[in-house]
Structure 1
Amino acid sequence: MNLEELKKLREKNFLEHKKKKKEYYLKNKESKKPSRKEIDYSKELNSINFADKIKEIAKVQKAHVDDRRELIVKKINEYKKRKKEYYSENKQKRLEYDKEYREKKKEELKKYRRDYYQKNKEKILAKQKEKRKS
């Protein structure tokens, strides 16, 4: 056997293996997948049943939220506590950053105004002269 035949044989075996692996994966996926019942939307959501269906859905959702209410409130309070701790720990850093940011923006704004005035000096002076005359 020469090298080309070995390469072809290897490629063929690899593709077969890949195909078997894919079939096995799909077969396992199908077996694990829970079967869903078919929903006929024309019956479920027609004008007669629509209001009842909406009420039923709202009732189920409310029951779910009521069951988890304590957990939800606990998580919200925990989040508020963590947020408050974080802000109190990093208060000085935030204040320092805010101060630097304001200074930076202030300098940029001064520079922008200076450049704008230099570019439009004639227009601005003409407008000022007109205002003084009137």
Structure 2
Amino acid sequence: MAESLFFNKQIKHITQDPSRLWIWDKATFMDEQRRTWLPIILQTENHLQVLLRQHTIQVGQPLSPSQLTSCPLPLMWQLDFNRKYRASDFSIWRVVYHIEASAAPRAQAGGLGWPCPGHSACFSLCHSTKS
């Protein structure tokens, strides 16, 4: 288990997708277990895809919705049935994949400098932008 840097309590690593994700600031989401997730946005002509990587970071105060108007992602996602997330804007996002891995320490990784040594989890959501 990892120590939380911002709540001083232990955090369990995930074995399944989070039930809810709330936007915290322009570059961070938080789930119901207070784990932080960092998004990478991939946009094509027909789809918006986001890769969310669980990574424990220190966070400040959350931003208000009015401060997040330029963010292309919804303010919240809630896990629905059939591995789909319903967003706060009523859009449906499907889980493309879920990865859970243990990264090797830097010395064992040939000095590649893993950004998050130890246990890591990622999942990807996709939303069709074409009607």
Interval of TM-score (by shorter of Structure 1 and Structure 2) = under 0.3
Instruction: Considering Cα pairs closer than 8 Å and 6+ residues apart, tell me whether 1 or 2 has the greater RCO.
Output: 2
- Calculate the TM-score normalised by the size of structure 1: 0.16
Specify which structure has the higher proportion of strand: 2
Whose helix fraction is larger, Structure 1's or Structure 2's? 1
Instruction: Give the structure with higher Rg (CA).
Output: 1
The TM-score, its normalising length taken from structure 2, stands at 0.16
